[in-house]
A and B are shown apart, each in its own frame.
Chain A
Amino acid sequence: MFYKLKIAPKLILFLLMGCTLVLIAMSYVNYTVGKDLMYEDMVAQTTYMVSNTANSIDTVQNGISKVVLYASSNYKSNYSDSQIKAMLSNIIKYNPEVQGSCFAYPPDIKKSTIYGYRKESKIIFSENNLDYLTSDWFTLPRDMESPVWTDPYYDFGGSEMLMVTYSVPIYAENSNRLLGVITADVALDWISSMLTNLNESDSGYNFLISNQGAIISHPKKDWVMNESIFSIADSKGLPLLREHGKNMIDGVRDFGYYGYSDVNKSNSHIAYAPIKSTGWSVANVVSDNELFSGIFLLNKFVIFVGFSGFLLLMIILYLIATSITKPITQLEAAAREFANGNLECERMSMPKGENEITSLINEFYKMKDNILEQINVIKKTTAEKERIERELDIAASIQQSLIPKNFEEFNEENIFSIYGVLNPARAVGGDLYDFFKLSDNKVGLMIGDVSDKGVPAALFMSVVSTVTKVLWNDGMSPSEALTLVNKEITRSNNTNMFVTLLFGIIDLAEATFTYSIAGHPAPYVISRNNSVVQVQQIKGAVAGVFDFKKYSENTVKLNDGDVIFMFTDGVDECMNADNQLFGQKRLASNLAEIGTVAPNIIVEQLVNVLKEHAGGAQQSDDITILCFRFEGKKV
């Protein structure tokens, strides 16, 4: 998927991916750590606030309970109604939070209560015999034999308000006989306003529940007294709230998730703390939006920073990637142009600084310069080579011109025919052959092989050929001519080269072949009966090395139709790819097979046989053949 991408986008993509991962990880860690810290801070703050509220209420409630306890401890069983009223008046007068105060006799003394309550800054007393015997404010302290705070209730026949009451049972001295119950009523309105005032931070709302879970104060007025935290938890489907409620009535201080709050109209958290004197619990319910506003802000900030970081990173990466790849791209274009043959393309501008890229560009141009220089050298060398080849061609044609090819002109019908070939291994060769008329009845034949090959051998061969032509006149036998030629070329030979030579004379009238040899293979004579006989080899040193006193010679009789087959060692030493020599034995048998046909046919067929033998192998030596067929005596 990515391998087709160019370097710059690939670099940007992968670096961006990597950096984004790191960025996300860092943002996540930052966010979670920040969130945890903020959460802890918030929990501490909210819990502290609620605890403060609880303590403030506690102080007031504690004050009320102390006043009532004090009054109860001072009560005497012989108090008259007016004394009781004075006692109740004091409780109400000096405690603005107390709405009313009551003294109730137990029914075994008399079924009666004295109740004083605040009305328009006056204290009004009423005596009534309502069925207080079933009211919690009377039965609870009586049956529990201890002071209690009641759950909220509606005070019929008195202040006609929702209230809670602190009730203290009074017992006779030194006995457990109940003398009465004394109470202080606190209006729920008053508690609500206190709770509202305490909620200084103005975040969320406070509510208050009794030790039985009954709602004493709540922004939802119709819940007050009627509902409990558990009925709300049940009806609103807030199972966590039930757990919180149980904690609250157990006097636990805590903080946790509330669920969806109807009042806040959002998911909320709750913090609560107990009011020790009453066993009540105060709670603060704050919407998550408000509570986590800091965290949400942090969240937004982290997203913003992350996103800006991402953009910035993208821009930086783009700039870096392009600054790195721009010279590479330019270099690539230059290389492509160069590869397409524009060798003189302009040098690209160098990027600033010194780095791998600049040295790559430098090396590329150095390489380009070297290639151009090499090309120039090659051009020169090629021109030189071409010139030499041209000269060699000329030399070859000159050399070939030294070799006679006028076989048809030279042949004498019914007397003799001759044919030769010289195939040099290189452009020019070191072999030679020649034939010429020494007199009317005598034909001179020569074949030779210079020890080297190539131009020096060719030049040497020219010398030998020229010297032979100049020196060999018609009165000389082959051995005399060979001795003379050897003497001449040895004298002028400053090189270490030498030449093998075979000089022969055909006496057309006598039908003889006289020959002299200087280190050259002896020729074959093919007879009409297809016998192939190599003439006798004559010992004699190769020519051109030292002044050999006298070469000897030999004469063989020729029959009509005999063919003299002269050759250089390029024939029998012709090698194939496996370095196998053609060999004189195979040569003799091939000649026997060919028979005494016309010399040109013999030569052509043998050359084909040699080619066949060599296969594709490169020709290692010059191949030279001179073939003479004697038809009959000249009369």
Chain B
Amino acid sequence: MILRKYNLVFILIVMILFVSSSAFAAKSVTLLLHWLPQSQFAGYYVAKDMGIYKKYGLDVTIKHAAVNEDPFVALVNGKVDFAVSFLANGIICRSNGSKIVDIGQIVNGSNTLLISRESSHIKKLSDIKNKKVGIWNNGVGQLFLTLFHNNNIAIKRYDQSSTMSLFLNKGIDVCSAMSYNEYHMLYYAGLDNDELNIIKLKDLGYGVPEDAIFCLESMWKKDSALAKAITDATIQGWVYAKTHPAEANRSVMKRVRAAKRPVSEYHMRYMLNAIMPSIISDGKNKKYWKPGMLSKEDYNKCVSILKKSPFIGNDVPEYELFFKYGK
């Protein structure tokens, strides 16, 4: 009897400790994603919705950047704790003096494309010379602009929004595209694959890792465990999304509909499937990588591309100084 009583007390104490540690010790942080709500961020949503962040002691508020917004502005200004953007943008940002670090390389593959209509006869990079090209204005466009700059190709630049209307209405000749998003949006606007010419950036030597989580170096120095936690939790979110696509889609659609974006649910399902292999390697296209890891090789490749970029600053960091996941 006595033993049983002690047992009960012990269980109660453990429960109180657990609840207090998860509820009271959870750190509130903000995470800014560099595009509107869509399946590109399914892992983050799932990590939040399924309580994975909470399990890691995080109370994450997810925010989305506007179409023209460079997330590093908010990060550097201390408006948010963490920001997601392209690796290349992060390197450019750091080289220009902003002390930010990559604390988790989420998208390790390259999904960047340049798409034109088959009827425009743009088959290779040089054909784009003096054409009207849609470029994102949120920093992601810098990789594309570097490509044109490095190859000495003058273009007529147009801001590319979240819709494909300008390209579909033939306002521009070439659009920037992600293989998991815009490419499929065009298919859902009635353009068949054989009606399009597609130039993959990775075929031009510009295949570099994309989405990464960044934070200020000072923050990482102060609490590297926190930085590791958000990346670990996010990767957990992606693993969960991969094995539970229906729940992941629900998390995505909840945010898409709240934002009242004109987005097809079926497109979102496609996007989740399409982006997954560049986050969690299926070994088909590239060697295995540990999710969240950035190889030094990939980093150096990106740096060498950016060295000739008009956007690059003087202070290009070493790999070890810049990439901090798992340290």
Interface set of A (CB-CB < 8 Å, partner B): 131, 133-136, 139-140, 143-144, 148, 150-154, 156, 211-214, 225-231, 234-235, 242, 245-246, 249
Contacts and interface: CB of A to CB of B under 8 A. Distances in A.
A230 B187 contact: yes
Interface string B254-293: 0000001111111100000000000000000000000000
Interface stretch (B12-20, B158-166, B215-223): B158-166
B189 A213 contact: yes
Given A140-B165, A150-B165, A131 B189 contact: no
Interface in B147-200: 158-159, 161-166, 168-169, 171-172, 187-190
A230 B166 contact: no
B76 interface: no
Contacts of A213: 188-190
B68 A133 contact: yes
Interface string B37-56: 00000000000000000000
A576 B188 CA distance: 118
Most buried by A among B68, B168, B262: B262
B68 A154 contact: no
Given A213-B190, A226-B262, A226-B263, A131 B166 contact: no
A231 B264 contact: yes
Given A151-B163, A153-B262, A154-B261, 4 more contacts: A133-B159, A134-B159, A151-B165, A226-B265
Contact of A212 (B66, B67, B189): B189
B169 A231 contact: no
B190 A139 contact: no
Contacts of A231: 188, 264, 266-267
A154 to B, nearest CB: 4
A136 B163 contact: yes
8 smallest beta-carbon distances between A and B, as pairs: A154-B260, A134-B67, A231-B264, A235-B266, A144-B171, A231-B188, A225-B262, A230-B188
Given A140-B169, A154-B260, A225-B262, A230 B190 contact: yes
B166 A139 contact: yes
Contacts of A242: 190
Nearest to A139: B161
B192 to A, nearest CB: 8
B174 to A, nearest CB: 13
B277 to A, nearest CB: 20
B90 to A, nearest CB: 23
Contacts of A144: 166, 169, 171
B166 A140 contact: yes
A133 B171 CA distance: 16
A152 B188 contact: no
A127 to B, nearest CB: 19
Contacts, number: 86
A245 B161 CA distance: 24
21 contacts: A134-B137, A135-B161, A139-B166, A140-B165, A143-B158, A144-B171, A152-B262, A156-B260, A212-B189, A213-B189, A214-B262, A225-B262, A226-B264, A228-B188, A228-B190, A230-B190, A231-B264, A234-B187, A235-B266, A246-B190, A249-B190
B253 to A, nearest CB: 10
A212 B168 CA distance: 7
A227 B264 contact: yes
A156 B67 CA distance: 15
A212 B165 contact: yes
B325 to A, nearest CB: 32
A420 B132 CA distance: 154
Interface of B: 66-68, 137, 158-159, 161-166, 168-169, 171-172, 187-190, 260-267
Contact of B266 (A131, A143, A214, A234): A234
A291 B25 CA distance: 66
Contacts of A229: 190
B66 A140 contact: no
Nearest to B132: A143
B189 A227 contact: no
A481 B163 CA distance: 164
A139 B158 CA distance: 9
Contact of B189 (A139, A153, A230, A235): A230
Contact of B172 (A143, A214, A225, A235): A143
Contacts of A154: 260-262
B62 to A, nearest CB: 19
B264 A131 contact: no
B166 A143 contact: yes
A227 B161 contact: no
Contacts of A143: 158-159, 166, 171-172
Contact of A139 (B66, B159, B188): B159
Contacts of B262: 151-154, 214, 225-226
Nearest to B162: A134
B190 A245 contact: yes
Given A144-B171, A212-B168, A245-B190, A134 B266 contact: no
Nearest to A230: B188
A154 B257 CA distance: 11
A143 B163 CA distance: 14
A227 B265 contact: yes
B86 to A, nearest CB: 19
Contacts of B189: 212-214, 228, 230, 249
Contacts of B171: 140, 143-144
A152 B264 CA distance: 13
Nearest to A138: B161
A133 B67 CA distance: 10
A570 B166 CA distance: 141
A211 B164 CA distance: 12
A228 B169 contact: no
Contacts of A227: 264-266
